[in-house]
Amino acid sequence: MPKRVGFIEPEVKARWHGSAGKPCTGSSLRADWLISHGVGGSGRTFVSSVGRMLCMIENLMEERDSFMLSRLIGWPESRTPKCRIAARIYPDRSRANPRSLAVRDGLRAALIGSAGLVFTMIPVARASGCFTFPTVVRLARALASKPYVLPKPIPGFLGRLTYNQYQSIRFKPARSLWRKRGSRFQVQLVAPGLYYKTPVSLSVVSGCLTHPLPFKPSDFTYPSARLAKRIPRTLGYAGFKLTYPLVGRDCCNQFLVFAGASYFRAVGRPNNFGLSARGIAINTAFPPHEEFPAFRKFWLLKPPRNAHQMVVYALLDGPSVTGAYRFVIRPGQVTRIRMRVRLFFRRTPRVVGIAPLTSMFFYGLGTPRPLGEWRPAVHDSDGLELANGDGEWIWRPLINPPEFQVTSFQLDNPHGFGLVQRNQRFSGYEDLGARYDTRPSAWIVPRGMWGRGNVELVEIPAASETMDNIVAYWVPHRPVRPGREYRYAYTLRVGRAGVARPPAGWVIHTFVGAGRNPGMPCGSGRHTLRFIVDFTVPKASLNVPVQGVVSAGLNARVRNVTVMAARRVGVLRASFDRLSFLVTAPRGHPIELRAFLRSQGHALTETWSDMLPADAIPALTQTPGCP
């Protein structure tokens, strides 16, 4: 018999009094739940409507969508939680349309009365075994108190499939979940095999009922009848893909994929798939000890047919950590995923990475091109963007280092960080197959105060573009302790580079090469590098004097700092300021640099930050014709 779930969480009443409770995650008081508790007839219809309205408002509060709520009943918006609560309690009648004050007052009275009616049913809902996000939290907490158990792997022959064989196993789109009802959101399932060696549990939460999705081999086409006969009927799925009509009403565009450990990938409307996000990163900077916790169970909350967002719960498990995750997913030009995370540790890892992002950087316009490569650049992301709590924005160009490299940026109470594909011109890649110019950028926006911590950038040597070699995540200052609950909330934005655009000027290009000028003797500038950094500048600052500010680490010396203004140059008639300088450093030492543009004592641009490892410098200082 399917397990009954409810519509409201125990702490919902406290939320209405302004405390930090948890939201209602269901959509309504379903008729079957009401019948089972003795509510019938017109009362059932009325309470169902009230439940839907209350849950909608609770979800609006949870997602901090004050704009929609204010438009509905005339309450003003606010930026801070205290002001937002005060605005809801003491509405500003001066902002409302006088003709609609009576209607809005009636709505407020109806909502207050509805809330009182529903609150009287909270003890009944609490006793009914409601399946909500706190249920997943309890499962994660209980799992952390037990020893880690390795999940059962798939049959060996599926793990030995070649890449082409696995790609030939295709899900039949006509079997998509919710397709027959014409839902905007539909679910396509992922078959285990090759890289996906561990099945996951999938369930659907619909109203008051939750039921598992049984594996059906007939949902897939296989490259041969022989392989199809060997597929166990109890195999399970490796993950799922969400589709949504991003480019047209009759289209079902894949925009989000959950598959493999705790990885998930998303795109905005104009993007192709590229970088990935993860639920958590454990010991990434210590390769022999790195762990890959995995999402073991998913619950898909069935959305209304014409919904613009949907909710997914996930249960994570790994040797060191368990976790409960709530994803509120809203696709579009920029796909937004609002996440709530609860973590429970079995033991203390060396490094815990919160909100990790994973990408690929093989080479770029400003780095040496491998022999035999004809494309100008090959990468999914070309830089790390950081927004510090003090208002500073930092841009760090990515590299493919000769050795494993970890860079740490102190970022207390960060406003955001992410991996960005800033170069979005086809001419920067010239690849019609991979289309790196359409790869998305990802931006993490923390919700609440995260406290002291660092953003770590891990860069791993890569011999080809098939390897993800870039990882970025936030590391809390204090080490975690087993037995405690850790809470994080953040929003992941995925789309074009504008998802992470600083308010001032930003870096366009970074070029690094030998410091010797053409025609000079080979012995001159042997250990000197020339850096070129192009910045966009605000329109209001195009005609003001600009100064370049460059600082270097202890082992480097900076000289010949110049700024050249380029106005309406090239086919695109672009305007930018070019910062140029020379850097000399002793052999065997890395080079650390920071630079920005300023005018009249005020910064005009974000801060450009770079570090070249010592092993990479000799290749950059070589010039043709010199030994």
User: What does the pLDDT look like over 562-612, one tens digit per residue?
Assistant: 999 887 776 555 788 899 999 987 777 888 999 999 988 889 999 999 988
Distance of CA 612 to the CA centre of its chain: 28
pLDDT (mean) for 188-209? 92
Q: Pick from 584, 532, 539: which is nearest to 562 by CA? A: 532
DSSP string, 279-321: S-EESTTSGGG-B--EEEEEEEEPPPTT-S-EEEEEEEE-SSE
CA distance 74 to 94: 10
User: What is the predicted pLDDT for the residue at 287?
Assistant: 77
Q: For residue 6, is pLDDT > 80?
A: no
And the tokens for 237? 């799925």
* Residue 368 binned pLDDT confidence (cut-offs 50, 70, 90): confident
User: What is the predicted pLDDT for the residue at 254?
Assistant: 94
The total number of residues written for the chain in this structure: 627
User: What is the predicted pLDDT for the residue at 72?
Assistant: 38
Cβ-in-10-Å burial (0-12, 13-18, 19+) of 180 comes to: exposed
Residue ranges and CATH numbers for the domains of the chain are: 3-129 (no CATH), 138-500 (2.70.98.10), 507-621 (2.60.40.10)
User: Each residue of 329-367: b (16+ CB within 10 Å) or e?
Assistant: bbbeebbbbbbbbbbbbbeebebbbbbbbbbbbbbbbbb
The SS3 assignment for 521 reads coil
* Residue 556 binned pLDDT confidence (cut-offs 50, 70, 90): confident
Report the 10 Å Cβ neighbour count for 449: 8
pLDDT (mean) for 246-269? 91
Q: For residue 525, is pLDDT > 90?
A: no
Top pLDDT among 412 and 440 is at 440
User: What does the pLDDT look like over 21-57, one tens digit per residue?
Assistant: 333 333 333 333 333 333 444 444 444 444 444 444 4
Q: For residue 623, is pLDDT > 70?
A: no
CA distance 182 to 257: 21
Top pLDDT among 475 and 501 is at 475
Half-sphere exposure of residue 248: CA atoms within 13 angstroms, side-chain side: 2
Half-sphere exposure of residue 48: CA atoms within 13 angstroms, side-chain side: 16
User: What is the predicted pLDDT for the residue at 393?
Assistant: 95
CA distance 309 to 439: 23
pLDDT (mean) for 339-352? 96
And the tokens for 322? 């368990």
Distance of CA 602 to the CA centre of its chain: 32
Q: For residue 123, is pLDDT > 80?
A: no
pLDDT (mean) for 62-88? 36
Return the amino acid letter for 364.
G
Handedness of CA 125, 128, 132, 136 (dihedral sign): positive
Question: pTM for the full model?
Answer: 0.80
DSSP string, 124-173: HHHHTT--SHHHHHHHHHHHHTS---PPPPPPHHHHT--HHHHHT-EE-G
Distance of CA 541 to the CA centre of its chain: 33
Q: Pick from 382, 410, 405, 497: which is nearest to 458 by CA? A: 405
User: What is the predicted pLDDT for the residue at 520?
Assistant: 62
Q: For residue 373, is pLDDT > 80?
A: yes
Return the amino acid letter for 323.
G
Q: For residue 536, is pLDDT > 50?
A: yes
Question: Which of the residue ranges 25-39, 91-105, 348-362, 497-511 has the most confident prediction, judged by mean pLDDT?
Answer: 348-362
Q: How far is CA 274 from CA 95, 259, 353, 441, in A?
A: 45, 14, 21, 9
Top pLDDT among 612 and 66 is at 612
User: What is the predicted pLDDT for the residue at 87?
Assistant: 31
- CA angle at 613 for the pair 609 and 616, rounded to the nearest 5°: 115
pLDDT (mean) for 333-360? 97
CA distance 449 to 413: 6
